[in-house]
Chains A and B, each alone.
Chain A
Amino acid sequence: MIRLLRSAARRMAGLVSVVVFLLLWEVAARVFHVRAIMLPLPGQVMLELASEWSWYAGHAAYTLMTTLAGFALAVAGGVAIAIMLVGSRWFERFIYPLIVALNSVPKVAIAPLFVIWMGTGAEPKIAIAFLIAVFAIIVDTVHGLRSVPQDVLDLGRVLKGSRRDFFFKVRLPSALPSILAGMKVSISLALVGAIVGEFVSSQRGLGYVIMSAQGTFDTVRVFAAIFVLALMGMVLFALLVWLERRSTPWLRHHREDG
């Protein structure tokens, strides 16, 4: 019972901080008479969200869709590329430097290109989300696939299994914790990518809401969209933490109740 309360308290701690932060903001903005066009009150933002929630939900769903599509492609593509990098010396020698070079190009800078190539639909947003998110997956998966201890590599040779058996029963599962760590970084990056795509050109999505509201100095609307984005980011991250625990039950997850 006490443990349950304690874990509930720990869970609430984050929420308490957020509420206190919003309250301080509300009070400070009122006391110092900050103009709503510079910094609206949290209350105003909430009201805006409440009165037009279905409109916001529609745009949020669009952004969520492009984020998840980009993320899914990044996971599938990133893991596949990492497997090839680890499996083939040729691939590592010639392709890896290319990937590193491509990654050092700021993706935001090439976002306009994608509009030229793919038009103004969902495709360029998904592509940018993929591009920003994929590198974290590649790096962490390569690290995980290479982290099989020497003893276990020897065991694999002694047992004389097929390459396929060794890969699926030893190498891939031992890389799974690293892959999940990469996914946690990558989901936030995919969201960034989706928004960047919507900034460049869009008629839908929370990025579009922010850009168009900024054009009319509707700061309340800008903040409302940012609130929804923050919430979305947190929920996506929490989902991945949950997935991590579900799929790696053999690991000691330190904050078991948090």
Chain B
Amino acid sequence: MTPWAVSARDVRKRYPGAAGVEALASVTVDVPQGRFVSILGPSGCGKSTFLRCVAGLETLSSGELQVAGVPVDGPPQGMGMVFQRDALLEWRNVRRNILLPIEFAGKPVAAYEGKVRELLALSGLTKFSESYPRELSGGMRQRAAICRALVDDPQLLLMDEPFGALDALTRDQMNVELQRIWMETRNTVLFVTHGIAEAVFLGDVVMVFSPRPGRILETIDIDLPRPRPLALRETPAFGEYVRHIRGMFQQMGLIDEGARAASPVERAR
């Protein structure tokens, strides 16, 4: 039996100190290999903390966490990560940025030049292979960061609100491109976001987190065929998922339309 890509048993995280903020309250989940999992929740709900626990960047307070059947103790093997800000090295051109994981792993860089060309082509960056990051737009920078995370063929790809800093149009574009790239690679993805539409559009599964201390409120299978075009977001089926999740957020008191509608002063502005 192949092990779960990610398996969490009653994972808790409390930050040390007098305040002792409880970030995660018992997260239990099993993620099968090759799934695209959207982790959705309000800001500061601990969804990024969970991702960082999986990445081995944070230690658990209690519980068990395994990646590909191996208990997490430091960053696991065969994992790629994309950060909120692209974390590109400004002094390396795009190609050499993408090769960084290969260099750090002590593998022969020359053997991966073909792989880099492939990834650049897949993400539409071929012409910018020798450009410095500052010469690229925000979307292109993030695409380069995704290529870097994919260059060593990771089994598991962790993405921590990777498109949070991009404008709405670029974000849409990136959603489409990420889906296309993922349909080529088919690795397991954990994708943290606070955008409902983005989570539904990309995910095979959407895991909805509660406000802090975070736990999983509901795991929703998104039964929509791929490749999903942007126009899918206007369909009733898509709208139903979004409506359902928004309803959950409303119940949590995170969306409050009532107060604003009641205030004519607010509206007049």
Contacts and interface: CB of A to CB of B under 8 A. Distances in A.
Interface of A: 149, 151-152, 154-155, 157-162, 165-166, 169-170, 173-174, 176, 248-252
B91 A159 contact: no
Contacts of B132: 249-250
B105 A158 contact: no
A248 B91 contact: yes
A169 B87 contact: no
B101 interface: yes
Contact of B104 (A151, A159, A250): A159
Contacts of B133: 250
Contacts, number: 67
Interface of B: 52, 55-57, 74-75, 79-81, 83-87, 89-92, 100-101, 103-105, 132-134
- Complex A-B, nearest 9 residue pairs according to Cβ-Cβ distance, in ascending order: A161-B104, A151-B87, A159-B104, A151-B83, A250-B132, A250-B91, A158-B75, A155-B87, A158-B81
Nearest to A249: B132
Contacts of A249: 132
Contact of A159 (B86, B90, B105): B105
B87 A154 contact: yes
A230 B157 CA distance: 58
A152 B101 contact: no
A174 B89 contact: yes
SS of B interface (majority): loop
Given A151-B85, A170-B89, A173-B91, A158 B100 contact: no
A9 to B, nearest CB: 28
B75 A152 contact: no
A109 to B, nearest CB: 41
16 contacts: A151-B83, A151-B85, A154-B81, A155-B83, A155-B87, A157-B57, A158-B79, A161-B103, A161-B104, A166-B104, A169-B103, A170-B89, A173-B89, A173-B91, A251-B90, A252-B134
| Residue among A159, A162, A176 with the highest chain B CB neighbour number at 10 A | A159
A252 B135 CA distance: 10
B103 A155 contact: no
Contacts of B56: 157-158
Given A248-B91, A252-B134, A154 B83 contact: yes
Contact of B134 (A152, A174, A250): A250
Nearest to B133: A250
Contact of A176 (B75, B91, B101, B105): B91
A250 B80 CA distance: 26
